Structure 1
């Protein structure tokens, strides 16, 4: 799988819901529109929570992967209307 380039890596491994999404929310405010954040997580709940976060705000979930229980999400910051 080809993955998008990301300047920012947010490591939430070992944290449980709701911490990964809360950390993503804080981090995404710090980057420019169009920049990509790679989120690393081990909480299976992120498989539901992060796509919903992206849809609701709206940001673009470019790709996601599961590598033996480590979840990876590439999220591009969207512009708010």
Structure 2
């Protein structure tokens, strides 16, 4: 995993206060609008995102660059897969 402070996000999705399945549904829409290879930072408070977001990335071929937990907030950096 790279240093999160060094990761620059092209877009941010703040799903704080939302519960499953809303964060992943919002993530799906946000990733669709992101350019290929772009980085999305996700902020969530639902613990189920620890399971759901890595599965989402694996299933759809996106790269989970890093994930952190800070005082009940879950942070994810996702690189959208390049087309092809």
* TM above 0.5: yes
Aligned partner (choices 5, 8, 11) of residue 8 of structure 2: 5
Q: Which runs of 5+ in 1 are unaligned?
A: none
1:20-46 Cα shifts (integer Å, max 9, x gaps)? 000000000101110000000000000
Scaled by the length of structure 2, what TM-score is found?
0.92
Once the 2 structures are TM-superposed, how far is the Cα of residue 7 of structure 1 from its aligned partner?
1.8
Once the 2 structures are TM-superposed, how far is the Cα of residue 80 of structure 1 from its aligned partner?
4.9
Aligned partner (choices 64, 67, 73) of residue 64 of structure 1: 67
Q: What is the total number of aligned residue pairs between the two structures?
A: 81
Question: Which has the larger helix fraction?
Answer: 2
Contact 2:36/2:82, CA 8 A, preserved across alignment: yes
- Distance in 1, matches of 2:54 and 2:79, equals 12
Structure 1's consecutive aligned runs of 4 or more residues displaced over 4 angstroms after TM superposition are none
Contact 1:6/1:74, CA 8 A, preserved across alignment: yes
Q: Which runs of 5+ in 2 are unaligned?
A: none
- Distance in 2, matches of 1:41 and 1:10, equals 8
